[in-house]
Structure 1
Amino acid sequence: MSLKKTVSFIGLFFVMLNTFAQYDIIPLWNGDIPNSQKSDEQELVESTDSKRIYTVQTPTLEVYLPTKRNATGQAVIICPGGGYHYLTYDFEGTDIAKWFNSKGITAFVLKYRLPGSKSVKVSYQAPLQDAQRAMRIVRSQAKKWHVNPNKIGVIGFSAGGHLASTLGTQFDKPNTFKETAIDIISARPDFMALIYPVVTMKMDYTHKGSRNNLLGENPSEDLVNQFSNELQMTKNTPPTFIVHAEDDHSVPVENSLQLYQALKNKGIEAELHIYPHGGHGFGLALGKGRLEKWTDRLYDWLQSL
């Protein structure tokens, strides 16, 4: 092969590779992003032992598909944590998606806007708006991804667990922007999985960083109650799976205990696993003894739904 043809082939290969990558990453919004404003802010990516994304400018869904032969029809939207300050995008996002794929479950990693971004108008509205839109996109295109539209759930880690539980309890929150056809599709998850989640915004057990980033340093009592998800349970809240470590010194285990009690009070099917050791931010917990088996418990639970 001549040098010219070789260069052309390599160029075509990288164009194709980029095209496929873009096909798998879907912008949540067409045109103007609601609740946004122009700023000079740039999206920042930091890669050390994990990939962190700051000041998200273009919220997206990254699609991870199992082989058709293994696909179960279940799907899940993944909300990485990061205290509403950044997204732990691989450790609590793409790594989790690959695990779901190994079980035949289609996964979507949500890159949601962060409330402290200068590009966001009303801080606390943006993450939920993105989560609602993500669920509506997946449900509206379920056939394309060989997904059952009645088997689409959400999983969240830490502050991502707060976003997931906000979606699970406030999925029908009215939009504050001009709606299009997709916005009438249900944003209710069919199940929730919450892993060491931030749940409450009340000062006794909240994660102060998440609270300050989402609501500001002096939020009103009404706003605190609105985003304390243990107070937002209804009979339409989906079945919920919860994992937490008792020695979590960042997000107290009481977040999960209060949530479980609230679910029980409403008669919502729930499963809670409390491990004595594990701390905070353990992800898949690889190499952490029996804590590593929490994913097995999740898989058992998903099969039982």
Structure 2
Amino acid sequence: MSGRSDKKGEMMMVQADTRIVDVIRQMQEQRKQDRQIFYDIYSQQEKRQDPEKKDTGLFFFRGEKKAPFAVVCAGGGFYYVGSVHESFPHALELSRQGYNAFALQYRTGGAEVACEDLAAAISFIFSHAQELGVSTDCYSLWGGSAGARMAAYLGSYGPARFGGDDLPGPGAVIMQYTGHTDYTENDPPTYACVGENDGIANWRTMEERIENLDAAGIRTEFHHYPDLQHGFGLGIGTSAEGWINDAIAFWQAQIDES
């Protein structure tokens, strides 16, 4: 059993390394085309007033012109931002399926400041939508672990609650492996997935939140995958492989009805 687990872990690491190389190549291709990859979400004055905002911003993975956008928030327990594993690959896959995707580099130090950065990011995208070439209709928020908490909080309370502009909330929230339990009866449609062997975010906790949303009449979809622990990312080569296509289909269904 231990040997099988080790081999599965090694395979996931190889797949992750392949995706990282894929992301870097895509960024290099964008630079060759003289396309901007990174966008600041705060002004220089705001960064001078709060130096911790210096490295915040959005990495843009372009899809089709005027297609809806997604913001992907990586996990890291609010101690670091695991973009290479949990937001860049997701954003790249979304862009390849025609959607405009942004990977958020946010401040560490807790959920509140991270959510403030997500609210600022959404406000930035709305105010620069024409320049960026994105539609603001039925946008989605994605996240894994700590990033899923951010997506859920913004879905529940909207950007203005965290210092952003008075804007519509997301048309869908996509969550991976988090123990987040807070919700409102006005939450957006929510997709969630988790591994059954997750020692950080018990799948029953995620299931209970989804059941509460269901009871409030909110559209949901929930998947729990055998043998998987925390942080499986795209899940390539695991029981979760293909989950991102299910999540995209869930979001697209909300777009079609909006």
Per the TM superposition, whether the score is higher than 0.5 is: yes
TM-score per shorter chain, which class? 0.7 to 0.9
Question: 1 CA distance for matches of 2:168 and 2:179?
Answer: 21
Aligned to 2:207: 257
SS at match of 1:149: strand
Work out the CA distance in 2 between the residues paired with 1:170 and 1:128.
Answer: 11
Alignment match, 1:190? 171
Q: Does structure 1 residue 141 correspond to structure 2 residue 92?
A: no
**Runs of 4 or more consecutive aligned structure 1 residues displaced over 4 Å after TM superposition:** 16-21
Shift of the alpha carbon at 1:274? 1.5
Gaps of 5+ in 1: 1-13, 39-54, 116-122, 177-182, 201-228
Cα distance in 2 for partners of 1:88, 1:270 equals 26
* Shift, 1:147, TM fit: 2.4
CA shift, 1:130, in A, is: 0.6
Shift of 1:145: 3.1
Q: Tell me which residue corresponds to 1:66.
A: 63
Change (3 A) 1:124 1:243: closer
Equivalent pairs: percent with the same residue? 23
Equivalent residue number for residue 268 of structure 1 = 218
Does the residue aligned with 1:109 lie in a helix, a strand or coil?
A: strand
Residue of structure 2 in register with 1:246 after alignment: 196
Match of 1:90 among 80, 84, 89: 84
Q: Please give the per-residue CA displacement for 1:36-93, whole angstroms capped at 9, x wherever unaligned.
A: 745xxxxxxxxxxxxxxxx87421011110254xx7x121000000111111111111
Alignment of 1:35-46 (within 5 A): 37=50
Residue pair 1:61, 1:108 contacting (<8 A) in 2 also: yes
- Work out which of the residue numbers 69, 94, 97 in structure 2 matches 1:100: 94
Q: Distance in 1 between the 2:172 and 2:96 partners?
A: 19
What amino acid maps onto 1:111 in structure 2?
Q
Where 2:175 maps in the other structure, the secondary structure is strand
**CA 1:175–1:283 in structure 2 vs 1: closer, same or farther (change >3 Å)?**
closer
Structure 2 residue aligned with 1:27: 40
Give me the whole-angstrom Cα distance separating, in 2, the residues matched to 1:31 and 1:111. 17
Gaps of 5+ in 2: 1-27
Aligned-partner Cα distance in 2 for 1:174–1:279: 33
For 1:62, the aligned partner's letter is F
Quote the residue 2:251 is aligned against: 302
Q: 5 Å matches for 1:163-242?
A: 163-174=150-161, 183-186=164-167, 188-200=169-181, 229=182, 232-235=183-186, 237-242=187-192
Cα displacement (A) at 1:140: 2.3
**Distance across 2 between alignment mates of 1:165 and 1:138:** 19
The answer to which structure has the higher helix fraction is 2
1:113-171 CA-partner distances (Å, limit 9, x unpaired): 111xxxxxxx5431111111111112222233332211211000011111111111121
**Paired residue type of 1:59:** T
**1:17 Cα deviation from its structure 2 partner:** 4.8
Aligned to 2:19: none
SS in 2 for 1:136: helix
What is the root-mean-square deviation of aligned Cα atoms in Å?
A: 2.7
Correspondence for 1:292: 241
> 1:303 Cα shift?
2.6
SS in 1 for 2:242: helix
- Residue type of the partner of 1:273? H
1:95 Cα offset (Å)? 1.1
TM-score by length of 2: 0.78
Counterpart-to-counterpart distance in 2, 1:167 and 1:262: 18
Partner of 1:208: none
- The one-letter amino acid of 1:167's match is L
C-alpha deviation, 1:198, in angstroms: 3.4
Q: Based on CA coordinates, which of the two structures has the bigger radius of gyration?
A: 1
The CA deviation string for residues 85-119 of structure 1, in whole angstroms up to 9 with x for no partner, is 1111111111111110111011000001111xxxx
